[in-house]
Structure 1
Amino acid sequence: DSGRPLLIPPAAPLTAQPETIAIAWKATPQAARALTAASAFLSMAKQIVVLTVAEDRRAPEEEADRLIAGLRWRGIPVSVRHLRAAAHSAPETLLSAAAEHAALLVMGGYGHSRLREWIFGGFTRHVLQGAAVPILMAH
């Protein structure tokens, strides 16, 4: 709970400046902090892919519109992928898309009560355990 972002490497560490960066976007303070922490990486990227995951009936498209407009305004090439997944498979869906499109994943770290995490597992924990690319995360 330091309030600082973390750069979490996978088994194969990051060897160069990532040319393509994926942003796992959900309109939360954690995701906004991660985005701010990644600004140096983002400004040097050749391409940014914004990934949103619709769990069940939620439509994430509107949440990403302002982010995409802001990145484009700064002159950063950006594309978006709206992913659909059931809640239990959302982490795997996100990781698959990130590994396919990017050399770095930027995301917010979300937390729930310890009891809920123990019973249901946590999205963030699943992403961290299965990541094939480095993750820049803020909580």
Structure 2
Amino acid sequence: MSTTTSTTTKHAPVRPLETVIEQALQDACAVHNIMYLKFTSSVTGVPDRILQGINAAGQPLTVYVELKRPGTHPRTRQKEVMNRLINHGALVFVVDARDIDVTHFRHNYHTVESLLELTFLSTKIPVPERFDLFNSNTKANTYSAVPAL
């Protein structure tokens, strides 16, 4: 005679993987007729994706996107390259969630929905965002380690 014991365990909320967020961004881009390209480069630290399309004002727009799992941050090298792109006039965003229902809104981090709203779906011109980079010794911004792109 065998007995079966049922146990209920509480699990912490599961954070979506980058691939889940990536698929959500790809799907949203398809809905809004935005090109979704994987970015590969010989330079380490470049953002994951490039979005290309026409914004709500009818202007062509290119956006670089770094995808991150919620609660994770770009590495120092990624921040350096993103700041370098921004210094050259590029729009660069970090996306770390699929939905607007997130409790961890932070400066420079976006959901798929907020990214598209800020860039392609709004008639306002988006402003490049700076990513905080500090040298732990001097607290000065550091860009010197980034090769020319």
TM-score if structure 1 supplies the norm length? 0.30
More relative contact order, 1 or 2 (CA 8 Å, 6+ apart):
1
More strand by share: 1
- Answer 1 or 2: which has greater helix percent: 1
TM-score computed with the length of structure 2 as normaliser:
0.28
